[in-house]
Amino acid sequence: MKNDFPIFKTYPDLVYLDSSATSQKPQAVIDAVSQFYSSKNANIHRGIYDLSQMATDLYENTRKKAAGFIGVKDSSQIIFTTGATEALNMVAFGWAKKILQKGDIIVLSEMEHHANIVPWQQLKKSNGVELYFLPLDKEYRLDYKKVEDLPAQKVKLLSLSHISNVLGTVNPLEEIIPFFKKKNPEIKVCIDAAQSVPHFQLNVEQLDCDFLTFSSHKMLGPAGVGVLYARKELLEVMDPLIFGGSMITQVTKEDATWAEIPDKFEAGTRNTEGVAGFGAAIDYLHQIGFKKIQEREEAITRYALEMFGRQKDVRLFGPAIADNRIGVFSFAIANVHPHDVAEILNRSHIAVRTGHHCAMPLMKVLGVFGTARASFYLYNTREDIDRLQEGIEEVKKTFNV
Amino acid sequence: MDPLYREIILEHWQHPQNYGVLKNADIDVVENNPLCGDAIRLTIRLEDKKIKEVLFSGDGCAISKASASLFTEEIKGASLEEIKKIKEKDVLNLLGIELTPARTKCALLILRTLQKGIKLKH
């Protein structure tokens, strides 16, 4: 599979363990972007001429593909955004700001990425909503039942990541969502699926979530493209945040009326070439098949957990077993700072992320300033883990651990 | 020998000089490295506009800790006027190692902390 990714031909020695930050791109995605420019480039939804129609078809077909990708039948419920961050901001300021009131409670968790914390904090300032953070248990899993003290009728929104980008923990949405909907049938559920769509086949209709957000660049596609899914009735009431061309039906000197969904939320000229690449990424993932991806990744995760289990003086921040977990490993080597770990690993061409991973509240819960993080994806091999192990040994040697 | 983690760096990392927090400090300042979230707290006691005592604390990488250790050792007794003239390269020379741009930020965190403290003082 590595052969499909040109970056590994450019750098044969590269051990890329930072896919939670962004994935590498297969040739098929690179070609789709390039081919868009060489044979389909025109502005969409505007031209009568063939080329514009071709670009429009590609864009709208990709919307249908994205809908199918997460089990949505009506593709008008798929809004193209710049990424999961923008999509979450749209839920916060386009929907929640309009609907939620002072004293309403939004439930988040301690394992959220800043993208699913900061917008809600800002909303708190303007609307007076309350935020509640679901705690973690000792196994780095979500203790989602710890909400006895919350008045259920006040809990209007649960906004939760499917998978922690730091711990690798997979939150059991098929249990969590019914748990909250039973307590308050009126609650809306927003799922940040940025870390899960690269690895799992999702079905929002089965999950019964109301909003779902993700980014193309973490699932082999180009950066600058993401998706907001929302139920149609929610999109109807939701306000657009960006105003301008293509999102209107009528404009007078005094006022304007909005186009139907999804156009209402897609003002200006969109990242059409990125959407072309995103479509190719969906095709590529389907072509490999999520069953195969999961089998491969599970084997890698088990192998990595064994490796970490053998290491003395290495602390793993995340579940120690492979069940309900993906190949994201945050770790610390004795008292060596994560930057120093990454520096030594980089000498062996091993790319890991260090720092707080855009999850500073989680770092505080873990009692650290930051961690080193190795995150795996479908192109990683056992050999990559062997190389990581050698790198960890090298760190220990350098720092006399 | 390791080109970056030379003995002197590791020595100052494991046993940093001037590590701690001064009580009744004239300058007490915290600065972050936005890249990693690391923070240094620097406390200084002045006498006759000179640095009488200086201590730093905080979790940092080997480079930032060694740099802070060496640098605080260097500025003891210096006047505020002398401090203001310190250049980035003076700090990097103390370490005497080649650094990538990202790690240069680690090495210079102590200088930025000191500069912030002096600015707040005035």
Beta carbons of A339 and B5 less than 8 Å apart: no
State the Cα–Cα distance between residues A137 and A142, nearest whole angstrom: 6
pLDDT for B33 equals 84
Three-state DSSP state, A159: strand
Tell if the CB–CB gap between B5 and A354 is shorter than 8 Å: no
Cβ contact, residue pair B5, A363, below 8 Å: no
Among candidate residues A257, A286, A315, the one where a domain is terminated: A286
- Is A316 among the domain residues? yes
- Rounded Cα distance, B98 and A374, in Å: 26
Domain shared by A314 and A352, yes or no: yes
pLDDT of residue B1 exceeding 70, the answer is: no
Q: Are residues A342 and A390 in the same domain?
A: yes
**Would you say B106 and B63 are in contact if contact means Cβ atoms under 8 Å apart?**
yes
Q: Is there a single domain that holds both residue A40 and residue A88?
A: yes
Tens of pLDDT, residue by residue over A31-56, are 999 999 999 999 998 778 999 999 99
Mean model confidence pLDDT for chain B: 92
B2 contacts in chain A (CB < 8 Å): 398
Quick one: A192 and A308 in the same domain? Answer: no
Out of A228, A259, A286, pick the residue that ends a domain.
Answer: A286
Q: Do A337 and B4 touch (CB under 8 A)?
A: no
- Output the pLDDT for position B98: 87
Residue A137 belongs to a domain: yes
Is residue A212 situated within a structural domain? yes
ipTM for the complex shown? 0.86
CA distances for A62 relative to A281, B28, B50, B100, angstroms: 10, 56, 67, 41
Q: Cα–Cα distances in Å, from A25 out to A82, A107, A273? A: 18, 35, 14
Which positions of A are annotated as active-site residues? 358
Q: Nearest chain A residue to B102 by CA: give it.
A: A339
Closest Cβ–Cβ partner in A343, A354, A370 for B4 = A343
B30 contact A CB<8A: no
Q: Quick: pLDDT tens for B49-88.
A: 999 999 999 988 999 999 999 999 999 999 999 999 999 9
Which CATH number do you get for residue A333?
3.90.1150.10
CATH number for the domain harbouring residue A199 = 3.40.640.10
B19 touching chain A per CB within 8 A: no
- Cα distance between residue A322 and residue A306, in whole Å: 10
Q: Extract the tokens encoding A283.
A: 């095709």
Element (H, E) at B40: strand B39-47
User: pLDDT by residue (tens digit) across B99-109?
Assistant: 888 889 999 99
- Whether B12 has a pLDDT exceeding 90, the answer reads yes
A182 and A41, same domain (yes or no): yes
- Please compute the mean of the pLDDT values over residues B24-31 and round it to a whole number: 95
Strand pairing class (B39-47; B50-57): antiparallel
In 3D, which of A119, A190, A202 has the Cα closest to residue A161?
A190
pLDDT for the residue B4:
85
What is the domain extent for residue A300?
290-398
Higher pLDDT, A181 or B4: A181
B2 with A360: Cβ contact below 8 A: no
Opening angle at CA A61, ends A55 and A62, nearest 5: 95
* Interchain pair B61, A363: CB under 8 A: no
Q: How far apart are CA A108 and CA A120, in angstroms?
A: 9
Q: How many domains, in total, are found in chain A?
A: 2
User: Scanning every residue of chain A, which has its alpha carbon at the shortest distance from the alpha carbon of B36?
Assistant: A355
Task: Report the candidate in A224, A219, A227, A222 with the shortest Cα–Cα distance to residue A192.
Answer: A227
Burial class from Cβ neighbours inside 10 Å (0-12, 13-18, 19+) for residue A35 reads: middle
Same domain, A231 and A107: yes
Instruction: Give the model's confidence band at B94: pLDDT under 50 very low, under 70 low, under 90 confident, else very high.
Output: very high
Q: What is the CATH number of domain B7-121?
A: 3.90.1010.10
Which of A267-281, A289-303, B14-28, B32-46 bottoms out in mean pLDDT, i.e. has the lowest? B32-46
Q: How many angstroms separate the CA atoms of A26 and A312, rounded? A: 37
Test B35 with A400 for CB contact under 8 angstroms: no
Q: Please indicate if any CB of chain A lies within 8 Å of the CB of B11.
A: no
pLDDT tens for the 401 residues of chain A, in order: 899 999 999 999 999 999 999 999 999 999 999 999 999 999 998 778 999 999 999 999 999 999 999 999 999 999 999 999 999 999 999 999 999 999 999 999 999 999 999 999 999 999 999 999 999 999 999 999 999 999 999 999 999 999 999 999 999 999 999 999 999 999 999 999 999 999 999 999 999 999 999 999 999 999 999 999 999 999 999 999 999 999 999 999 999 999 999 999 999 999 999 999 999 999 999 999 999 999 999 999 999 999 999 999 999 999 999 999 999 999 999 999 999 999 999 999 999 999 899 999 999 999 998 999 999 999 999 999 999 999 999 999 999 89
Interface contacts (A, B; CB < 8 Å): 42
Do A224 and A110 have their domain in common?
Answer: yes
Q: Do A122 and A253 fall within a single domain? A: yes
Query: Do A54 and A165 sit in the same domain of this protein?
Result: yes
Chain B partners within 8 Å of A398 (Cβ):
2, 5
Residue B69 CA to residue B45 CA, distance in Å, equals 17
Q: Do A203 and A139 share a domain, yes or no?
A: yes
Q: Has residue A258 been placed in a domain?
A: yes
- Same domain? For A279 and A294 the reply is no
Kindly state the tokens that stand for A370: 């930051």
Q: Which residues of A touch B97 (CB under 8 A)?
A: none
The CA distance from B6 to B28, in Å, is 31
Distance CA A170, CA A322 (A): 10
Q: Is A393 on the interface with B (CB under 8 A)?
A: no
Phi-psi region of A309 (alpha: psi -120 to 50; beta: other; left: phi over 0): alpha
Is A270 an 8 Å CB contact of chain B?
no
3-state DSSP of A222-259 = CCCCEEEEECHHHHHHCCCCCCCCCCEEEECCCCEEEC
Together in a domain, A205 and A264: yes
The strand pairing partners of A257, in sequence order, are A250
Whether cis (ω within 30° of 0) applies to the bond prior to A262 is: yes
Would you call A184 an interface residue with chain B, using a CB distance cutoff of 8 Å?
A: no
Instruction: In chain B, count H helices and then E strands.
Output: 5, 3
Domain boundary (A258, A286, A314) is at A286
Whether B86 has its CB under 8 Å from any CB of chain A: the answer is no
- Measured CA to CA, the distance from residue A329 to residue A314 in angstroms comes to 11
Sign (positive/negative) of CA torsion B68, B32, A359, A385?
negative
Bin A208: left if φ > 0, else alpha if -120 < ψ < 50, else beta.
left
What does the pLDDT read at residue A167?
A: 98
Q: How far does CA A124 lie from the centroid of its chain?
A: 23
